[in-house]
A and B are shown apart, each in its own frame.
Chain A
Amino acid sequence: MFSKLFPDHTSSTWRLVVLQAITIGTSIALCLTLAGWALHRDLDEMGRKVVLDDLGEHAVFYEQEGIAGVEKLFASGMHEDDDVLRVVSAEGKVLFDHSFVAESRFHWPDASHLRKLANVKGLITIEHPENDEHTLIGRVVLNDGAVLWYGRMDAADRLYLSHIRNYLWIAGIAAAVIALIPVFWYGGQVLRPVRSMIASAQELAKGTGDSRLEAPSAVPELRQFATAFNRVLDRNSNLTRELQDANDHLAHELRTPLARIRGNLEAFQDNTKDETAREAALRGIDEIDRATTLVQTILNVRAGEHNALVLHRERTSLRTLLESIIDLYLPSAEDRSQNLRLEAETDSVLEVDTQRLVQAITNLLDNALACTPKGGDIVLRLETTPDLATISVLDSGPGIAKEEMEQIWERFVRGSAAAQSACPGMGLGLSLVRAVATAHGGKTGCRNRDTGGAEFWIQIRG
């Protein structure tokens, strides 16, 4: 339900802080409002009781001792500050008046107002004209017809209430600070291990290390996750090793008998005088060599697809490597009247498996030479950034059909351009290119050039 609350890139710590702030803020505000309201109600109730009690008390004293009794009682109650008392005779003469009208500018209700109020049952509230203080006034009609008014100002109650509110705020803020402790805990025990797991998982994804997820100080769930994940990794690396062993074994088991057959065919070819037999033996030898290469390529592609291609990395200058490849291909290109050239303005020295990389690049060049017409241009290009090298082969052949852009990288798929040209092949060249690039933590791609022809590229990281 909170997933749409935050932008995607907001980290979970910030999300937690925001959610905590909202929850704690709301709770504190709710507590303060509720407590304030309840307190206010209680004080109000208490005020009413006090006014009614005092009213009764003063009435009793009036009945017993007359106005002097009222004065004595009022003076003994130290009510000067916030209580008011007025006794008006039946004739309307003010017999006693103690009010703070002058100081607090409370307007004692005038006679007509009071008369009106006299009909009201219970207590009356008079508002201060300038601030929001109130005076609660009650009245009682005495036996002789005089009316006794008694009132109480709520200034002290308000002061008390505001003090309580302040304390509540302080308590609320302290609670909010304490409530942040889980955020710190979350950062240390959950987020940090998760971050370190992400880092190790990224390393693993690159295929450069054989590391495992580690979360020694994390919460038990994360530790369990790391253990389970590591178990999957262990199983994967076991499978990879088994695949490598199986490949190795298969290659080994196949190569030895092929070697025996080849040896015998060679001996036969060397010793027979029959031209047809010699020719047959020759073709047999040729087929054995092709089969050997084919099996090795299939195994390599398969290993590459499962991230099990064993690389022998060496620090290599890519420009020097490409120069030597150009050097190898130049005579062939010249024989076909094709213009082959190298474009490498920068160099990049990376840890790569030279043999495999050369094989991938020559596969691309083989395709380029096969499909570029006489007089056409073929460019081998190197572009580098500090941690990335892109090797592209640009040809001026028929280009790639749109629907084949992705298919041609698959095993045993030959593009229509290859099928039309007479070049032989099993459709393994590009899948080997992709396998080699993937094993180097890189990728491959192709596009049609605006000027015609196709561009194939390998991108690798050092």
Chain B
Amino acid sequence: MTLLLAEDDPELSRQICAWLTKSGHAVTCHANGSDALNTALRQAFDAVILDVNMPGKDGFEIVTALRADNDLVPVLFLTARDSVTDRVRGLSSGGDDYLTKPFAMEELSARLEALNRRYQQSATGQRRIGEWVLDTRQRRLRSSNDFIDLQPRECALLELFLDHEGRTLTKKFLLDKVWDIRFDPGTNVVDAMICRLRRKLDAPGHATCIQTVRGKGYVFKALS
């Protein structure tokens, strides 16, 4: 993807740039809101990452200006404020997603992928997992001679894993996308749900398709 990053903290900007470049994206970096807006207006990007508080123009102003220019590029806000009001302001001004600092780089990538996919509108009704086909409408995994019924959240979780195959997804990201919860409850609710999904998906004697990455989250690897 070609990405635009506007972040005024030099160290954070460097880290994000390094991570995204290493992940194979082309990144243009700016530390000033006005410069970022000028670049975004001149050049086409697959996604834009904006810090909320910046000299020049803040993130909200940049999005408003972009949308006023009919630019529908997906926008992800980075912010040091964990307030719903800010989040709502960001999304209502035309932003597409919102990530609170500090964050895991993997989560940034996952969110960018999700944004890009939504932008490309490439979501399909049916997904393949080895011999299984996931039917999201009926919330059912089907094979030629068998089927597994899924609970609504299990289905949403599996769909999310399929969307981000091979990407380590953090608990925070899963809670946000599947349960619409933006904090981590004390009880290991996500672990329990993943265990349940594993029990349904994993054939006895085979390696699990949803692996735990210690300290980071979970990664889905398709059955070979």
Please tell me if the beta carbons of A263 and B185 are within 8 angstroms of each other in the complex: no
Is the C-beta of B144 less than 8 angstroms from some C-beta in chain A? Answer: no
Contact of A423 among B19, B102, B186 (CB under 8 A): B186
Please tell me if the beta carbons of B189 and A251 are within 8 angstroms of each other in the complex: no
Is the C-beta of B148 less than 8 angstroms from some C-beta in chain A? Answer: no
* Cα–Cα, bound, A251→B52 (Å): 14
Please tell me if the beta carbons of A328 and B179 are within 8 angstroms of each other in the complex: yes
* Cα–Cα, bound, A362→B190 (Å): 13
Chain A residue numbers with a CB within 8 Å of B207 are none
Is the C-beta of B215 less than 8 angstroms from some C-beta in chain A? Answer: yes
Is the C-beta of B25 less than 8 angstroms from some C-beta in chain A? Answer: no
- The stretch of B30-38, B55-63, B79-87 in contact with A is B79-87
Please tell me if the beta carbons of B192 and A335 are within 8 angstroms of each other in the complex: yes
- The stretch of B9-17, B118-126, B129-137 in contact with A is B9-17
Is the C-beta of B184 less than 8 angstroms from some C-beta in chain A? Answer: yes
Query: Number of A residues whose C-beta is below 8 Å from B?
Result: 50
In this complex, what residue of B is CB-closest to A284?
Answer: B215
Contact of B80 among A251, A266, A286, A335 (CB under 8 A): A251
Chain B residue numbers with a CB within 8 Å of A248 are 81, 83
B: contact size bracket: 35 or more
Q: Min CB distance, B16 to chain A, in Å? A: 7
Q: Min CB distance, A336 to chain B, in Å? A: 9
Is the C-beta of A125 less than 8 angstroms from some C-beta in chain B? Answer: no
Is the C-beta of A312 less than 8 angstroms from some C-beta in chain B? Answer: yes
Which A residues between 55 and 114 are near B, CB-CB below 8 angstroms? none
Contact of B85 among A266, A312, A429 (CB under 8 A): A312
Contact of B15 among A260, A288, A353 (CB under 8 A): A260
Chain A residue numbers with a CB within 8 Å of B18 are 267
Q: List 5 A-B contacts (CB under 8 A).
A: A252-B81, A267-B15, A328-B193, A329-B187, A358-B181
Q: Could you list which residues of chain B lie within 8 angstroms of chain A, going by C-beta atoms?
A: 9, 11-12, 15-16, 18-19, 53, 80-85, 88, 100-105, 151-153, 179-189, 191-193, 195-196, 214-215
Question: Lowest 10 A-B CB distances belong to which pairs?
Answer: A331-B192, A366-B186, A263-B15, A259-B102, A259-B101, A282-B215, A312-B84, A255-B80, A332-B192, A262-B102
